[in-house]
Structure 1
């Protein structure tokens, strides 16, 4: 395993396991298999709807002595309905309870989107709709400045509930603004990034500001096929430059793309429910891509974003809500 040193001095494992869209019933055994395979970085979120099961898996591996709590890196994310300062600690403590731990290694603001508060006892995870039973359900926003949410995030660090804080799905302008008032600087930015969406300027900016970057959906379209947000034709794994590197190195196309992700200096959080691919995905630290191969794969960039609220919020949640434009 290779690591990224954060601006706090902590070490973030460069490869982790992402729990978005993972079947809750399979998660306890997946956690066990992942730990056995060498995974120590687990990427979670309230909105994924499976933190309780992740917690069961973590409790099991700790009880069996497969690893110690200090060996694990646990990330979770503040959901959109909990942006008001008075709800941030409540949301964090719910995640801690579900994961069965006393402290998170990293807590991120999931989106720069503030939605109306939904009490935990009413519906959890709250999702995107304010009232799913309404005649015409939609997202309903509430005006909460990011500065107020961030101050509450900082207080989680002060209280010892969280070691590091950061943001997700933010661009350079929002980060630059955040840095103007942050008492505790963001340690990590999590964004969608893969060979079709290289985000080189954003990653370069974060490097200059000593903010580590985690790439979600590092294999691109594969994460979105089941949601009809991508097709097999969108797969980067069939690109000739990827297949040629795989043949040259005796690796799979997926391993080539994941290696490209870590070799460019980001951490990555692929997911799979296949035990063989679980091992395949982590077996990317015994080879390197040449500068030519890295450049060729980066040149596949199309600025193709699969996870865009400006698209899916309108089609899935009856609300036009762009955040990247």
Structure 2
């Protein structure tokens, strides 16, 4: 896919509904799909089935998956847990290609560091292995998820190939993850924000959000997604409702004023 990505469809926590949701999302107009080879929270094979059922050519899609360390998995592992980390990355990625029925992916993301503070040996080994996958030509970009600002700085300092993306759950109460977004801006990394609605229910019912929704003839969710875009985020939505899928994409015909953006920034 060569056109800019405006919104991604997230496939976590959908289990047997995954295939249907992916079909519906693609029918609604989504062309960027986020998943992970982590059966505990994702059904990557269902994503692949949905893509196949849609009939949309591979070159029109942006497909992103993640490598998840063993501590983030359940018993359904996509790799040998006793193998070196580099081998685990290779096995997980090969499995993702099979699940998604493709010969290449657009983005491979480290699904969270192995430790809460800083980066450790496992993270370094995984990133080097991901760089090897990139060098093979089977993936086009690398990213990292569930990062602190310090971890972003540390990864950029360590990496031979720095991340193109950082994906985090985005809380309004932290200034919409301001510290991590600032770190991304400093290093030229695009920030992907997820749980923009479910993590910020108090914002969705904020009186000023309602005012903006009425002013522009939009839903509160559309206001939040437009706000995220104007902050420079690449937002993810994981709605299972086809109507909401279409609504979430329908945010190109208006812009919030700087004052309105500031109001939402402080709404947490």
| Alignment: residue pair count | 249
1-side partners of 2:229 and 2:139: how far apart? 25
1-side partners of 2:221 and 2:205: how far apart? 10
Name 1:22's counterpart in structure 2. 14
Alignment of 1:123-272 (within 5 A): 144-197=121-174, 198-221=176-199, 234-272=201-239
1:207: Cα distance to partner? 1.2
Name 1:283's counterpart in structure 2. 250
2:261 pairs with 1:294: yes
Q: Kindly indicate whether the alpha-carbon contact (under 8 Å) linking 1:193 and 1:218 is maintained by their aligned counterparts in 2.
A: yes
1:12: Cα distance to partner? 4.8
Alignment of 1:310-321 (within 5 A): none
List structure 1 runs of 4+ shifted beyond 4 angstroms.
none
Q: Kindly indicate whether the alpha-carbon contact (under 8 Å) linking 2:152 and 2:180 is maintained by their aligned counterparts in 1.
A: no
Tell me which structure has the larger Cα radius of gyration.
Answer: 1
2-side partners of 1:144 and 1:181: how far apart? 11
Show structure 2 runs of 5+ residues with no match.
71-78
- The secondary structure found in structure 2 opposite 1:145 is helix
Q: Kindly indicate whether the alpha-carbon contact (under 8 Å) linking 2:15 and 2:42 is maintained by their aligned counterparts in 1.
A: no
1:206: Cα distance to partner? 0.9
2:34 pairs with 1:59: no
Task: Compute the TM-score of the two structures, normalised by the length of structure 1.
Answer: 0.72
Question: Per the alignment, do residues 89 and 181 of structure 1 end up closer, same or farther by CA in structure 2, a change over 3 Å counting?
Answer: same
- The secondary structure found in structure 2 opposite 1:108 is strand
- The secondary structure found in structure 1 opposite 2:167 is strand
Alignment of 1:81-92 (within 5 A): 81=70, 84-92=85-93
Q: Kindly indicate whether the alpha-carbon contact (under 8 Å) linking 1:77 and 1:108 is maintained by their aligned counterparts in 2.
A: yes
- RMSD (CA atoms): 2.0
Question: Per the alignment, do residues 23 and 148 of structure 1 end up closer, same or farther by CA in structure 2, a change over 3 Å counting?
Answer: closer
1:158: Cα distance to partner? 1.1
Q: Kindly indicate whether the alpha-carbon contact (under 8 Å) linking 1:19 and 1:43 is maintained by their aligned counterparts in 2.
A: yes
Question: What is the CA deviation profile of residues 46-89 of structure 1, one whole-angstrom value per residue up to 9, with x for unaligned ones?
Answer: 22331111101111223xxxx32111011111011268112111
1:194: Cα distance to partner? 4.4
Name 2:28's counterpart in structure 1. 37
Question: What is the CA deviation profile of residues 9-34 of structure 1, one whole-angstrom value per residue up to 9, with x for unaligned ones?
Answer: x655121111111242x232322222
Name 1:126's counterpart in structure 2. none
- The secondary structure found in structure 2 opposite 1:166 is strand
Q: Kindly indicate whether the alpha-carbon contact (under 8 Å) linking 2:28 and 2:246 is maintained by their aligned counterparts in 1.
A: yes
2-side partners of 1:237 and 1:13: how far apart? 24
